[in-house]
Amino acid sequence: MSFICIKNGDVYAPEHLGKKDILICNDRIIDISDSIDIGSFPYEVEIFDAEGNKVIPGLIDQHVHLTGGGGEKGFTSRVPEIKLSHITESGVTTVVGLLGTDSYTRDVETLLAKTKALNEEGITAYCLTGAYSIPSVTITGEVGKDIAFIDEIIGVKVAISDHRCSNPTTEELIKLASETRLASLVSGKVGEVHMHTGSGKKGIGQIFEILENSDLPVKHFRPTHMRKSDEKNVVKLTSLGGYADYSSTENGADMKAQDIIDAIAAGADREHITISSDSNGSLPKWNEKRELIGITYAKMTSLFGQVKALVAKGMNFEDALPFITSNVAKALEIDDRKGSLKTDKDADVVILDREMNVDRVFAKGKLMVSGGKAVIKGFFEE
């Protein structure tokens, strides 16, 4: 058995617990107390002193292009796959991978292989079948079979309200969601229909059409890339018990933070708002004619950066932190293991330095980052 004790940290679980010690055995948290007496402990314990530092749950990023996104400017614009060190150095210990615009040169098989590799390398990884297009690209030939029989696959990706998508009809989305729901019931998974939402005319209006014209529960529909123009619909969706996901950003983090703050002020349920990074996905810039005039890609460091932007805007840290921890865990139905610091949960723990930067990261009890730099890297990382 391996034991680690993080002592004297200012613990946000994500609720603020104050100064606590955290005892880890192998991959689980076994105690959180005011003071844990290591001197009388019968086993050797590695101690990390977090005096003066905040200690938080490992972050959960539910929208990551693990194998890279892009391609809108030709083959040279394909974004490379993400590295393990880029994930852990961002404070992230759980990811959900997916495909993006390009399901021609990328496939679900490769995405699944990358997901399996990340699990082997020490973090927790899931993925989605499907991509932008309808019918969905899959491994088995059916969305439902992918979800039911492949452990890592917990739902399906689709795109709506975007000039690059297949413009699925409401009936097609109902069929896709129905298949996903049935597979989720059989397999005991969340069965999310993760919906890339572009800046098109419909927004997330089709979700409400589906809810009005079917018996499907709102919990399956997960629109992402929410923006200021979606504010009224975010309020409506979260009031029904659905989750709305905002994409973090490095450029314009203050503006995105204000969008989230405004949505909550307008009545959105803060417990049903999440943030994801869209890491390694392309960030194309289009003119009014839908012509590409620029392109870059998202980085995972923006995830915690978005929380810091919310705090800079006046939000309490313990109110902002759930957007990338406990809220996401509940949305993905993995909150029995992830998203908070509690006994018997996975030992996914991040220690921040005094400037609120990621200092140390433990994934399932294993030290992955120290001094802000990865001590365990991916197989071919230098």
Q: What are the tokens at 116? A: 């399996």
Nearest Cα neighbor of 361 from 45, 1, 2, 4 is: 4
Q: Which DSSP letter does residue 272 get?
A: G
Q: What residue type is 170 in one-letter code?
A: T
Phi, psi of 110 (to 5 degrees): -65, -40
Nearest Cα neighbor of 155 from 122, 123, 179, 171 is: 179
336 noted as active-site residue: no
CB 66 within 8 A of CB 97: yes
Tallying the residues shown for the chain, one arrives at: 382
Angle at 118 between CA 336 and CA 21, to 5 degrees: 45
Nearest Cα neighbor of 158 from 109, 99, 72 is: 99
Specify the residue for token string 């290591």. 38
- 200 in the Ramachandran plot: left (φ > 0), alpha (ψ -120 to 50) or beta? beta
Q: How far apart are CA 166 and CA 203, in angstroms?
A: 14
Looking at 146, 230, 269, 278, which residue is catalytic?
278
Active centre residues (catalytic)? 278
